[in-house]
Amino acid sequence: MTISEEKVDDTILEAKRHPMDYLLRWDRLPHVWCSGCGLGSVLSCFIHAIAESGIDTKKIVVVSGIGCTGRASGYLDLDVFHTTHGRAIPFAIGLKLANPELKVIVFSGDGDLFAIGGNHIIHAARRNADITVICSNNFIYGMTGGQLAPTTPMGAWTSTSPYGNVEPNFNLCHLVASAGAIYVARWTSLNARRLQASMVEAIKKKGFSFIEVIPPCPTTFGRRNDYEEGIKMLEFFRENTIIRHGIDPGDAELNLGNKIVVGKFVDKEDKPTLSDHIARIQLFAKRR
Amino acid sequence: MSKKASIHDVLTGEHYISGNEAIAEGCLAAGCRFFGGYPITPSSEIAERMSRRLPQVGGVFIQMEDEIASIATILGASWAGRKSMTATSGPGISLMMENIGLGAMTETPFVIINVQRAGPSTGLPTLVGQGDVMQARWGSHGDYELIALSPNSVQEAFDLSIEAFNLAEKYRTPVIMLTDESICHMVEKLIIPTKSKIKIENRKKPTGSKKNHLTFKPDADMIPPMAAAGEGYNVFVTGLTHDTKGYPVITPEAQEILVKRLCDKILLNEEKIRLTEEYMTKDAKVLVISYGITARSAKGAVNLARKKGIKAGLLRLITIWPFPTKLIEELAKKVDAIVVAEINNGQIVKEVREATRKSVPVVLSSKLGGTVHTPKEILAKIEEVKKK
């Protein structure tokens, strides 16, 4: 008997499709992330949040920079942009200002958003640009093999800090809140339900909203820092995460071996966004 | 003009303004509705005028935190469907290089005005230069092509601003206006035609099904139609080497197909894109090649040479890239020698030498920046090379 190589519709698989699959680009899976990585869970929370937000998916645009998290946009069946390293935020601001009807979400990593792109995030927060930024903080440059990042905790081992990191790390939530963000939250990827609820809030918020999410990165961070398996890092999250809503994010530093303080730190009332101000001056200039 | 033009549209009428202001008006007349920039001498007047004018026509002006953010934001705006631009100079254009590559790779139409000052580094911030010619072509890493134009008057600065947007839209490419401090700070008469007389080109839009849209599937003309974000096509855009879907494909085969097309869509249309001006070239024995402000001195030099009985002529390059190699190859057959005048240490002269294949002597009339050539300086080169 000869077996035809012709493709047939795989109805069994079709039937097994997950209800959220309509937001994913099936033909791009499996994803590039390592086993034990938390980005899959974060992406899962994200697509659930998009669905739950009720926003017309036609109007949702996701912009990423470069890095492990930067690949997230590429699995979404939405308008997606994978830009240059560090420049997702100004690219996103261009999209939003040029078409204020769009819901623009930046989904990228800590190195991309806070090292090479650090200047852009503080200015986006200062301007109250009407975008949501989701930052996955794995404490390291994963895609390039585990080098030191500005988020690497003091004393941690990386491939470019072979004697232990000698630099203090950025407290991302504190930095962004100080620069003017109106919504700031931090979760680990283990807080899946809370993370998802927070994503819905952030996406629906008018103005600059920010979520830091901490996924396990066993391959490039954990391996050198006693968390060689993803599950071990998740266990650490389970035992050491404390929820503190509304605290000053300045008090929520992330240090090696310390408790991880998570929660919704900032949730301010809506105030006019950059888009609102631009619309106002357009109206003014038009009447003259 | 009997009726005063409305500030809410094309400023039809006679003006007496600078090159920078003319460029701003030209870009608005071309339909530009988004400016993202960062102040830098000698280009700042473009940003200043756009900050006042764009809201009047319903457009968006934003001053970004640096030049890298400026170019990234205009790429985003272009993908939201707006004609977008930035204006900069020396250090600013250097900072923009990486995202010019993203623009070429993602076939994003936008216009960069580079008001050239003399470099390297901070150089002569307030004084003229033409040292960014090769950078415009080769500045971002990897192989790519783009279009660069060079005006030699305030009127042409306006006209070419429209042309720059039309070419960007037609070929889905970054276009650089390689102008200079002298043209942009010079004040001359400008006539802005009525809106109906201005030819406007807009990017092709996809017409097929929105489901399973192929973001980068080219038509027969090598250029893919461009959907904007929010139109329901679910565009997939990456700076990685990609297939017609836009999906990353990290193979030498995909690289060959994509990069070849990106280059060919510009190079194979060189004659269609080409804009040049020839002055007294018919019987010329010494050909002067120049562009931008320097071409004005070169024309003076040709006139002086003719008075002295030397058969000189001028080829003024208006399109710098893609380079009109074929045209220069043909012209070189009819002349004894070529003089290239430019305000740099010899950049376009190398392209000219390649085009002529050493069939005639090609000499450089160089200035390193800060001032323009006098016609006499170029004349001296003409006299040096003319056949005794």
User: Tens digit of pLDDT for each residue in B19-59?
Assistant: 999 999 999 999 999 999 999 999 999 999 999 999 999 99
With CB atoms and an 8 Å threshold, state whether A99 touches B228.
yes
Domain assignment present for B159: yes
Compare all CA atoms of chain A with the CA of B36 and give the residue at the minimum distance: A94
Question: What is the ipTM, given to two decimal places?
Answer: 0.97
With CB atoms and an 8 Å threshold, state whether B69 touches A119.
yes
Domain assignment present for B270: no
Instruction: Report helix angle B19-29 to B44-56, nearest 10.
Output: 40
- pLDDT value of position A287: 86
The CA distance from A128 to the nearest CA of chain B, in Å, is 13
The CA distance from B236 to the nearest CA of chain A, in Å, is 5
Mean residue pLDDT of chain A comes to 95
Domain assignment present for A17: no
Chain B from 102 to 131: CB within 8 A of any A CB: 102
Q: Of B197, B225, B243, which residue sits at a domain end?
A: B197
Helix residue ranges, H only, chain B: 19-29, 44-56, 67-79, 90-105, 133-138, 154-171, 181-185, 252-267, 270-273, 293-307, 325-332, 348-356, 375-385
Query: Which residues of chain A make contact with B239, given a CB cutoff of 8 A?
Result: 82-84
Rounded to an integer, the average pLDDT of B255-259 is: 98
With CB atoms and an 8 Å threshold, state whether A94 touches B81.
no
The CA distance from A67 to the nearest CA of chain B, in Å, is 12
Compare all CA atoms of chain A with the CA of B83 and give the residue at the minimum distance: A98
Please say whether the dihedral angle defined by the alpha carbons of residues A231, A235, A238 and A241, taken in this order, is positive or negative.
negative
Query: Which residues of chain A make contact with B73, given a CB cutoff of 8 A?
Result: 90-91, 93-94, 97
Residue span of the structural domain in which A195 resides:
22-287
Q: Of B197, B213, B246, which residue sits at a domain end?
A: B197
Among B159, B152, B384, CA closest to B290:
B152
- pLDDT value of position A39: 97
- Please report the beta strands in A137-237, taking only residues with DSSP state E, as ranges in sequence order: 183-188, 209-214
Per the DSSP assignment, residues forming a β-bridge with A282 are none
Domain assignment present for A11: no
The CA distance from A82 to the nearest CA of chain B, in Å, is 5
Q: Do B51 and B184 share a domain, yes or no?
A: yes
With CB atoms and an 8 Å threshold, state whether B77 touches A284.
no
- pLDDT value of position A17: 74
Q: How many domains does chain A have?
A: 1
Q: Mutate which of B38, B141, B211, B236 to test chain A, going by most A C-beta atoms within 10 A?
A: B236
Domain assignment present for A7: no
Residue B125, pLDDT > 90, answer yes
Domain assignment present for B151: yes
Position B2 confidence tier, pLDDT thresholds 50, 70, 90: very low
Q: Do B191 and B79 share a domain, yes or no?
A: yes
Mean residue pLDDT of chain B comes to 97
With CB atoms and an 8 Å threshold, state whether B238 touches A74.
yes
Compare all CA atoms of chain B with the CA of A28 and give the residue at the minimum distance: B247
With CB atoms and an 8 Å threshold, state whether B80 touches A90.
no
Q: How many CB atoms lie within 10 A of CB B263?
A: 16
Number of residues written out for chain B: 388
Q: Do B20 and B163 share a domain, yes or no?
A: yes
- pLDDT value of position B371: 98
With CB atoms and an 8 Å threshold, state whether B238 touches A95.
no
- How many contacts does A have with B, using Cβ atoms within 8 A? 137
User: Residue B322: which CATH number?
Assistant: 3.40.50.920
Distance CA A62, CA A42 (A): 14
Distance CA B209, CA B87 (A): 37
Domain assignment present for A4: no
pLDDT tens readout for residues B354-381: 999 989 999 999 999 999 999 999 999 9
Distance CA A68, CA A141 (A): 8
Q: Does B304 touch chain A (CB under 8 A)?
A: no
B265 Cβ partners below 8 Å, 6+ apart? B145, B171, B172, B173, B218, B221, B222, B223
- pLDDT value of position B1: 44
Q: Does B173 touch chain A (CB under 8 A)?
A: no
Domain assignment present for A151: yes
Q: Of B197, B230, B248, which residue sits at a domain end?
A: B197
Distance CA A135, CA A112 (A): 9
Tell me the Ramachandran region of residue B235: left when phi exceeds 0, alpha when psi lies from -120 to 50, beta otherwise.
beta
Q: Do B179 and B283 share a domain, yes or no?
A: no
With CB atoms and an 8 Å threshold, state whether B237 touches A102.
no
Domain assignment present for B329: yes
Q: Mutate which of A63, A81, A143 to test chain B, going by most B C-beta atoms within 10 A?
A: A81
Compare all CA atoms of chain B with the CA of A275 and give the residue at the minimum distance: B60
Please say whether the dihedral angle defined by the alpha carbons of residues A11, A13, A16 and A20, taken in this order, is positive or negative.
negative
Position B388 confidence tier, pLDDT thresholds 50, 70, 90: low
Compare all CA atoms of chain B with the CA of A119 and give the residue at the minimum distance: B65
Output the CA angle B50-B168-B179, nearest 5 degrees: 60
Domain assignment present for B265: no
Rounded to an integer, the average pLDDT of B191-212 is: 96
Domain assignment present for B312: yes
Residue A1, pLDDT > 70, answer no
Per the DSSP assignment, residues forming a β-bridge with B189 are B16
Domain assignment present for B213: no
Residue B317's SS3 state is: strand
Distance CA B263, CA B261 (A): 5
- pLDDT value of position A261: 98
- The residue with tokens 């560090």 is A86
Q: Do B59 and B168 share a domain, yes or no?
A: yes
Q: In what order do the strands lie in the sheet with A60-64?
A: A241-243, A260-267, A183-188, A209-214, A132-136, A103-109, A60-64, A79-82, B236-238
Query: Which residues of chain B make contact with A125, given a CB cutoff of 8 A?
Result: none
Q: Mutate which of A83, A104, A277, A286 to test chain B, going by most B C-beta atoms within 10 A?
A: A83
Residue A150, pLDDT > 90, answer yes
Query: Which residues of chain A make contact with B55, given a CB cutoff of 8 A?
Result: 278, 281-282, 284-286
Q: Does B229 touch chain A (CB under 8 A)?
A: yes
Rounded to an integer, the average pLDDT of A172-193 is: 98
- pLDDT value of position A12: 62
pLDDT tens readout for residues B223-245: 999 999 999 999 999 999 999 99
Rounded to an integer, the average pLDDT of B92-97 is: 98
Q: Do B34 and B146 share a domain, yes or no?
A: yes
Rounded to an integer, the average pLDDT of B153-173 is: 98
Instruction: Report helix angle A274-287 to B44-56, nearest 10.
Output: 80
Q: How many CB atoms lie within 10 A of CB B299?
A: 20
**DSSP code at position A113:** I
User: Residue B169: which CATH number?
Assistant: 3.40.50.970
Residue A199: its H or E element: helix A192-204
Query: Which residues of chain A make contact with B60, given a CB cutoff of 8 A?
Result: 97-98, 278, 282
Give the pairing of strands B110-118 and B124-128.
Answer: antiparallel
The 3-state DSSP composition of chain B as helix, strand, coil percent (nearest 5) reads: 40, 20, 40
Q: Mutate which of B4, B49, B75, B85 to test chain A, going by most A C-beta atoms within 10 A?
A: B75
Please say whether the dihedral angle defined by the alpha carbons of residues B346, B188, B42 and A95, taken in this order, is positive or negative.
negative
Residue B27's SS3 state is: helix
Query: Which residues of chain B make contact with A93, given a CB cutoff of 8 A?
Result: 62, 73, 76
Position A246 confidence tier, pLDDT thresholds 50, 70, 90: very high
Q: Does B230 touch chain A (CB under 8 A)?
A: yes
Residue span of the structural domain in which B296 resides:
276-385
- pLDDT value of position A9: 67
- pLDDT value of position A27: 92
Q: Which is higher by pLDDT, A8 or B123?
A: B123
Residue A10, pLDDT > 90, answer no
Q: How many domains does chain B have?
A: 2
With CB atoms and an 8 Å threshold, state whether A285 touches B56.
yes
pLDDT tens readout for residues A247-280: 999 999 999 889 999 999 999 999 999 999 999 9
Q: Does A260 touch chain B (CB under 8 A)?
A: no
Residue B70, pLDDT > 50, answer yes
User: Residue A130: which CATH number?
Assistant: 3.40.50.970
Give the pairing of strands B276-279 and B312-317.
Answer: antiparallel
Domain assignment present for B205: no
Q: How many CB atoms lie within 10 A of CB B315?
A: 25
